Amino acid sequence: MDILSAYPSWPITHGAALLVVLPLLLGAIVSILPREKMAWAITLIVSLILTVTAFGLVLTIFGGETQLYKLGGWDPPHGISFVIDGLNTPVLFLISAMALLCTIYGLPSVAAEVEPKKRAPFYAAFLIGVAGLLGMVVTGDAFNVFVFLEVSSISTYVLVAMGASRDRRALKAAYNYLILGSIGATFFVIGLGFLYMETGTLNMADIGRILADLDGGSRVAMVAFGFITVGLGLKLAMFPLHMWLPGAYAHAPSFVTVFLASTATKAALYLMLRFTFTIFDPSFDYVMAVIMYVLTGVGVAAMLLGSLQAIFQTDARRTLAFSSIAQVGYMLLGVGIATAAGLSAGYLHLLNHAVIKGCLFFALGAFWYRYGITRCEDFNGLGKMMPWTMGAFTIGGLSLIGVPATAGFVSKLNLVIAAMERGWGWAVIIIMVTSILALVYIGRLLLAAYFQSPPEINGEVVVRNEAPLMMLIPMWFLALLSIAIGINADLVSEAARNAASVLLGGGV
C-alpha cells in the first residue's frame, strides 16, 4: 500500500514488541518525575508513537500480511511469540488511539480530579495499564495472557482508586473491582493449568493444533474451557458477572472511565474470541454448546436487563455503565450467531461501541469539570450552557440508540442481517426492543438538556461556559468519527470481516 511504503521499516518489523516494551519502560520513568506536566508530555509522546505504530500494523494486515514476532529469536513453542493478524490488529490500534485521545483530554481533566502529588504516578499507572492491555492482545503465549492481564488489572485498580479525591466511593469501587478481578484471574489461570495438563504446551497455536488432533480433548479440556470462559467473562463484565463495572465507571476519574469503557472490556472480548474459536473450536460439541446456549443466553439477558437498569438510574455515569453491559450483550449475540456474518457484526460493534461510549463519557467528564454535574436531573439546560459539549453527547447518544448515519446503526443493521440469515427472528425483535429502551434512557437526558431551562443561582441564570479545547478535541473527533462510520463503514467493516475470517480458520 502507498501509505505503508512511507513508514520506516523498523517500527513495522519490531512494532509488536515496541507496543508493549515502550509504555512499560516509560511508565517506570514517569512514576519518579517531579513535575506532572513532564509526566503528561511523556505519556502523550508514548501514546502517539503507539498509535502510529499500531496504524502501520493495521496497514500490513490490510495488505494481506501477518506477522509472528519471535522474542529473543527463539522459535515457538519453546520461545514466546507475538502474533499480528486480522483479529488482534484493530484492537491494538483501538487501545493505542484511545490512549492518545485520553491523554489529550487528561491535561485539564486529571488536574481537576487527581491530587497534585498523585498525578505523575497516575500517568505511570496508566502507561503500565496500556502496556498490559496491548500485551494480552498481541501475545501468542497463553500464560503471558495471564501475566499481562494482571499487569493491566492491577494498574486499573490503582487508577480507579485515585478518583477518591473527587468521590470517596471510588475506594469501594476499586476494592470491589479488585476482588472480582482477582476471582476472574484465578479462574482463568486454573483453566490454563488444566489446558497445560491436557496439551503439555502454553503456545496458543500449539494448543489449538493438539486439541484439534485430540478431537477436543478429554474432560480436562472441557473443564479448562469452562474456567477460562468464566474468568474472561468476569473481565468482560458479562452478565451476571458484571457487578464491578457500574461502580468503577461511575466513581473513577473521567479519564479512567473513558479508557476503561473504550478498551478494557474490548480486550477481554478479544481474548474470549481468540480462545473460543482459534484455541478451542466450535466443532467441539462442548464449545458449540457454550456458544449457543451460554453466551447467547447471557448476551440476550444483558441486552434486556442492562437496558432496563439504565432507565432507572439517577446518575448519568451509571446510566451509561449499565448501557455498556447491554452493549456487551450485543457483541455476545453476534458471537452466539457463530456465522461469518454474526462474528463480523459482533466484532464491528466492539469497534463502534468504543467510539460511541468514548464520546459519551468524554462529554460527561466535561459536564463534571464545568458544573460538577453527574445526576440525570442536573442536565436541565445543558444544551444552552455547554452547546459544543452537549452536541457531541447528542451525536454519541443517537449513535448508541442506532439512528441512521451513525456508527451504532451500522452495527445493529449488521447484527439484524446476521440474525435473519441465521433464522433468528426473535433476536431481531430483541435488538429492536433494546434500541427503544436506549431511546428512553438517552432521550430523557436530551430532553432535559434541550427543552428545560438552565438552573438559576441567586436569581440569575447560569451563563454559558464551554469545556476547554483540550477536552473538546478528542470528544468531537469521536463524534465526527461516529458519523463518518455511519456514512461509509467500508474500512471498519473490512476489519471486522478479516477478524471473522481468522476466527473461522480462513486466516488474514
Kindly state whether residue 452 falls inside one of the protein's structural domains: yes
Which residue in this structure is represented by grid cell 427543552?
451
The total domain count for the chain is 1
What pLDDT is attached to residue 404? 92
What does the pLDDT read at residue 374?
82
Percentage of the chain exceeding pLDDT 70: 95
Q: Are 172 and 247 in contact (CB under 8 A)?
A: yes
Q: What is the pLDDT of residue 412?
A: 93
Q: For residue 95, what pLDDT is reported?
A: 95
Distance CA 419, CA 411 (A): 12
Please state, in angstroms and as integers, the Cα–Cα distance from residue 58 to each residue in 55, 93, 481, following that order: 5, 7, 18
* Residue 176: inside a domain: no
Q: What is the pLDDT of residue 461?
A: 55
pTM over 0.85: yes
Instruction: Tell me the three state secondary structure of residue 216.
Output: coil
In-domain check, residue 342 = yes
Rounded CA-CA distance 309/318 in Å is: 9
DSSP 237: T
The residue range of the domain holding 485 is 283-508
* Three-state helix/strand/coil letters over 320-357: HHHHHHHHHHHHHHHHHHCCHHHHHHHHHHHHHHHHHH
Residue with grid cell 509504555, as numbered in its chain:
23
In a domain, 186, yes or no: no
Q: Is residue 458 part of a domain?
A: yes
Collapsing DSSP to helix, strand or coil, 75 comes out as coil
Residue 325 lies in a domain: yes
**385 within some domain:** yes
State the pLDDT at residue 375: 84
Summary mean pLDDT of the chain: 88
User: Could you report the per-residue pLDDT of 370-392, keeping only the tens digit for each?
Assistant: 888 788 888 888 888 888 999 99
> Which among 409, 408, 370 has a CA at the least distance from the CA of 387?
370
Q: Indicate the DSSP class of residue 141.
A: B
Residue 459 has what pLDDT?
52
- Low-confidence residues of the chain, pLDDT below 70? 1-8, 63-64, 456-464, 506-508
Per DSSP, the three-state class of 139 is strand
CA torsion sign for 500, 501, 504, 508 is negative
Q: Is 149 part of any domain? A: no
Contact 125, 155 (CB under 8 A): yes
